[in-house]
Structure 1
Amino acid sequence: MANLDKKVKGSWLIHHTNKLQGVTNQTGYENTFLAGKAGILLSAISSDRQLSISQERLETLAIAANINIMFELPKLLDVLEKQQLIDRSTKGVSVLGVTTATTLQHTSDLFDSLGPKSNELASISLAERASVSPILAEDVAEEIADLHRLSRSELTHFLKDAETIGFVDAEKISENEKLLFNGNLFRRDATKKIVSVLDSLKTEEKVKLTELTEKLKKSACVTIEYAREFLGENLFQKVAAIGLFDINVVSNSIEDVGFITLPSAFSKYSNSMVDDAFDLAKAFVSSITYGMTKSSYSRGQIQAVDALLGTLVAGGSVGPVRAIAEDYKILELKGVVEVKSGTKNGRTGPMLSLLKKEVGELALQAIRQGDVSEHSLTALPSATVTSFIGPEQNREKVRRKQATLNPKITNDMLTILRTGKGL
């Protein structure tokens, strides 16, 4: 644990918090949940430059991040203020320039400052170990118990928690043996692991899987429909279940569209990045891909994606076109972009600008090169909202169904973000 990179540790805390939100209580993991929720809020409200946020906008972004504004928000603001990450006033908050990478580091530091329990530290160690390669529960149990000084009864309870909550997945392979793993297996040393998967397939399956992987390296992402048809349903289900591909679903007022990406496409080679740690970039790339492949010209189909992203990364605005108000709602609710009415070249309408420059830079590299492992930036996810379903949720089929915000509530939230003033 002492040698674990803070960004990686922060990513696991976000991962665990997302899992804890899927169970009825968080007893025993309160510090994990508090630190993770604070990190999620900081990600939602922060930009790479200093930002002043009105109370109305603050509450809207918190709601979108699945944070209760009556009970959780005040506590989380207290925590962030104590860490000197925000300044509060009667009108709202001021957030210093915080990148998504440093947000993960702050999440890790906050967790450490809370005096985490042994089982909370153990949950991070176990998740990290299970992301390297699948491991037998009995083989890792003694290691975890010794490292975090867990008694036999504490260890038994912890391993049950880890499986029930979802810190790791467990596959029973015999009467007395369980194999532990998680959805991050293909985020590092991916080439070796893909070879192992290929070795277990039939010749024709190997050829198809290799061809699709090469296509993804070149084009960043393809639609789920294309992947299903190309691989066939049986092979698609087989590789999706183990996390060989990331499945991302974006929505607008017209339809829900799924895209797949390579888990390793957004991570540094040999660096353990957890599932959901790049939801922002993948949501961005999926939205841009939608704009290139699905949106009609009359709605604002993206014709020159390189120029569009280049303008956003340089601090400019793009538009005005009608599609901007529809296709990027998830990015607005996650605090990645801002949509405002504006005028350009004699036309007036929705204009798009970028709040998190590093996410735009990563999306630009992904669109240009597909596999961007040499140009990695660490991005942090927000909590799941109705218009984007990230890789882990799609892989795992979460235990409880998420309530969908009705269109009026979503539109009201977006109106606040688009028209609300700063401090």
Structure 2
Amino acid sequence: MDKKTQGSWLIHHTNKLQGVTNQAGYEKTFLAGKAGILLSAISANRGITVNNDRLMVLAQAANINTTFELPKLIDVLEQQKLVDKSAGGIAVLGVTTSTALERTSDIFESLSPRPQEAATISLAERASISPVLTKDVAEELGHSFSLIKSDLNQLFSDSETIGFVDTERLGTDETLLFNGNLFRRDTTQKIKAVLDSLKPAEQTALTELTETLRKRACVTTDYAVKILGEALFQKVTAVGLFDISVVSNSTEDVGFVTLPSAFSKYSSSMVDDAFDLAKAFVSSVTYGMTKSSWARGQIQMIDALLGALVRGESVGPVRAIAEDYKVLELKGVVEVKEGTKNGRTGPMLRLLKKEVGELALQAIRQGDVSEHSLSALPTAAVTTFDGPESNREKVRRVQTKVSPKATNDMLSILRKGGGL
């Protein structure tokens, strides 16, 4: 397993661990994953300095406790020579979103994790290739990580309870393992297997939705439910056959459906969108393209806009920039600041994570995400984004929303200047 893949699984596992009351037995996984999440939030496509105010906001937005967790995470990153700490903030030493995953893997290895922790990563990878019975993977894991039967039993129990993998009981002594990344690669045979298990009417409906998504890239969840029916929709989304993302604003939450392999023609979807940055970027930009009025700064030429951002240019000034990209600001993908261009003054937008913009630009140019396909976005500014995995498991826990005032206070700090 390469470092990027291991790093992405560490982020996946850490997000799962945040949903349980304690991380006993998986402290190294949690620490490495949290360090990777912080590193992604503060990194850019060039070396930058992040002042303390900006650091606090980005950490809070990444669900990092700034009193207890942040100091420890900074120490870990400094030990790895990824940041330099000073009284005023930290200097990030040339880490990109892509290399953040590799560095997450390095941090994990440096912590000398227990064999069981390393085994959960191998198990998740195996369950993402194809569903597998516990009895069929137990011998392989036991041999690779020197685990005895009691260790393996605990490993499978923890993986199910925490959510490292999903499980389906097939009998008293048979459990099938899979996870939400199952349909991100080698999808043709897997989709065929799902189709073969359905009734003829269900097969027809599922084929119709899949073909629609291949042509249009994205449809609303309401549209998908209308085609599939509620029962089939719940069944196929629970196993990860489709990705559901939710973009939110002050008035509504709107879900839309994409194929998990939407970006896989360029690279590994799981690796490149481990932090849900690409989908958040496309969602926010497409809102400006399809919903924002001309007076607010409607995007007329998406290719030209993304091209300018990827080249490192600032775009604007238009009023919409201050409203439509809040999610991307809090994820450290873009920077919004007051600026002047062509005699006009107002909010300007600059891309901090070049590779995220490149992925979105490729997708739009190649047709996976087209200008007409993401028209069903909110009619107000997008302020939060829930990625596919969190939506797939929403039946297990309720998401806590950040109040609009808290969001605006955080954005105010990011826009004050300094730190970049």
Give TM-score, length-normalised by structure 1: 0.91
Does the 8 A contact of 2:261 with 2:269 survive in 1? no
Larger mean CA deviation between 390-399 and 44-53 belongs to 390-399
| Percentage identity across paired residues of the two chains | 72
Distance 1:233 1:346 in 2: 53
1:380 aligned residue: none
Distance 1:144 1:317 in 2: 50
Q: For residue 276 of structure 1, report the CA deviation from its aligned partner.
A: 6.0
The match for 1:408 among 391, 405, 410 is 405
Larger mean CA deviation between 135-144 and 82-91 belongs to 135-144
CA deviation digits over 1:197-228, x for unaligned, max 9? Answer: 22233444434433433343344323323333
CA deviation digits over 1:46-96, x for unaligned, max 9? Answer: 001111111100111000001111111111101101111111111101112
Count of aligned positions: 408
Larger mean CA deviation between 216-225 and 167-176 belongs to 216-225
**Within the alignment, does 1:357 sit opposite 2:345 as a pair?**
no
Distance 1:176 1:394 in 2: 30
Does the 8 A contact of 2:98 with 2:272 survive in 1? no
**Within the alignment, does 1:212 sit opposite 2:233 as a pair?**
no
Q: For residue 191 of structure 1, report the CA deviation from its aligned partner.
A: 1.5
Does the 8 A contact of 2:278 with 2:359 survive in 1? yes
Amino acid at match of 2:3: K
**Within the alignment, does 1:390 sit opposite 2:387 as a pair?**
yes
Q: For residue 275 of structure 1, report the CA deviation from its aligned partner.
A: 10
Cα distance change on mapping 1:97 and 1:217 into 2, 3 Å: farther
CA deviation digits over 1:327-369, x for unaligned, max 9? Answer: 2111100000111122233332222110001100101111222
What is the root-mean-square deviation in Å for CA atoms of aligned residues?
2.2
CA deviation digits over 1:71-128, x for unaligned, max 9? Answer: 1111110110111111111110111221211111111011011101011011011101
Cα distance change on mapping 1:288 and 1:189 into 2, 3 Å: same
Does the 8 A contact of 2:45 with 2:354 survive in 1? yes
Distance 1:398 1:17 in 2: 19
Does the 8 A contact of 1:186 with 1:243 survive in 2? yes
**Within the alignment, does 1:224 sit opposite 2:221 as a pair?**
yes
CA deviation digits over 1:266-294, x for unaligned, max 9? Answer: 23589583696150001111212222333
Distance 2:219 2:362 in 1: 16
1:379 aligned residue: none
Does the 8 A contact of 1:218 with 1:369 survive in 2? no
Distance 1:127 1:369 in 2: 31
Q: For residue 247 of structure 1, report the CA deviation from its aligned partner.
A: 0.9
Written as runs of structure 1 = structure 2, the 5 A alignment for 1:230-269 is 230-267=227-264
Does the 8 A contact of 1:10 with 1:105 survive in 2? yes
Distance 1:57 1:49 in 2: 17
Distance 1:321 1:270 in 2: 34
Does the 8 A contact of 1:219 with 1:367 survive in 2? no
Distance 2:272 2:397 in 1: 19
1:43 aligned residue: 40
**Within the alignment, does 1:17 sit opposite 2:41 as a pair?**
no
Does the 8 A contact of 1:54 with 1:420 survive in 2? no
2:80 aligned residue: 83
Cα distance change on mapping 1:397 and 1:275 into 2, 3 Å: farther
The match for 1:368 among 365, 368, 390 is 365
CA deviation digits over 1:375-418, x for unaligned, max 9? Answer: xxxxxxxxxx9811111111112643333221111110000011
**Within the alignment, does 1:341 sit opposite 2:345 as a pair?**
no
Give TM-score, length-normalised by structure 2: 0.91
The match for 2:327 among 330, 340, 344 is 330
Distance 2:38 2:265 in 1: 25
1:157 aligned residue: 154
Does the 8 A contact of 2:326 with 2:383 survive in 1? no
Distance 2:178 2:99 in 1: 27
The match for 1:283 among 274, 280, 283 is 280
Amino acid at match of 2:203: K
Which structure carries more relative contact order (alpha carbon 8 Å, separation 6+)? 1
Does the 8 A contact of 2:165 with 2:179 survive in 1? yes
Larger mean CA deviation between 296-305 and 106-115 belongs to 296-305
Does the 8 A contact of 2:52 with 2:90 survive in 1? yes
SS in 2 for 1:290: helix
SS in 2 for 1:343: strand
Larger mean CA deviation between 344-353 and 148-157 belongs to 344-353
Amino acid at match of 2:365: R
Does the 8 A contact of 1:14 with 1:36 survive in 2? yes
**Within the alignment, does 1:184 sit opposite 2:181 as a pair?**
yes
